[in-house]
Chain A
Amino acid sequence: DTGVSQNPRHKITKRGQNVTFRCDPISEHNRLYWYRQTLGQGPEFLTYFQNEAQLEKSRLLSDRFSAERPKGSFSTLEIQRTEQGDSAMYLCASTSSTDTQYFGPGTRLTVL
């Protein structure tokens, strides 16, 4: 068990550019979640996959955001036409079938 990994750990981009983040969950976990965390706040739910199916999206997930989990293993989160308000820590978590979620180290996005 190597834990949840995320890449890159940090991303600086200019407004209007597209960015993509990757999450590799714990191998036997079929559920994968994306969260966003801004300064002084707890993580906020963005979207959820069970295996390769995206089952839920938060209203925080605007049309510029898209997430995939093509083979039910790793997942990617893409943000198109980034805005300064997208600057945040993007966290991935995975779990098997309980409420106990294990988080990755996050990707810190800074939009200039």
Chain B
Amino acid sequence: GQQLNQSPQSMFIQEGEDVSMNCTSSSIFNTWLWYKQDPGEGPVLLIALYKAGELTSNGRLTAQFGITRKDSFLNISASIPSDVGIYFCAAPGRSQGNLIFGKGTKLSVKP
């Protein structure tokens, strides 16, 4: 079935460092989404990508829709303590618009 593989599983970085994470699949998608989830809260949409090769920014966050349509990347520049959380990639599943999610990348930032 469709599956999204996120890496790394977790990251522990120093404040101010840049962060890169990615999401890959054996399936092709027309949309990639990146969400951030804080403990005890629902996922919050960060960036939506709709076109292969697209590069989109949201403040210090930049995401790219891979040219093969099988992967996506998220970069965070100059990390700050409030970047702590779990970052999920998501893409449309086979059903009518339901999303499938990766297992997440847990980011910890040391002040």
Residues of A in contact with B (beta carbons under 8 Å apart)? 4, 6, 31, 33, 35, 40-45, 48, 50, 55-56, 58, 91, 93, 95, 99-106, 108
Contacts and interface: CB of A to CB of B under 8 A. Distances in A.
- Interface SS majority for chain A: strand
B73 interface: no
Interface residues of B, number: 26
Interface in B83-100: 88, 90, 92-93, 95-100
A31 B90 contact: no
* 8 smallest beta-carbon distances between A and B, as pairs: A42-B101, A103-B42, A45-B98, A99-B31, A106-B42, A105-B42, A56-B95, A99-B92
7 contacts: A33-B98, A42-B103, A43-B99, A43-B101, A99-B31, A100-B31, A101-B45
Contacts, number: 74
B79 to A, nearest CB: 22
A42 B102 CA distance: 6
B66 interface: no
Contacts of B88: 42-43
Contacts of B33: 99-101
Interface in B35-83: 35, 40-45, 48
Contacts of A33: 97-99
B42 A104 contact: yes
A44 B43 CA distance: 12
Contacts of A48: 95-98
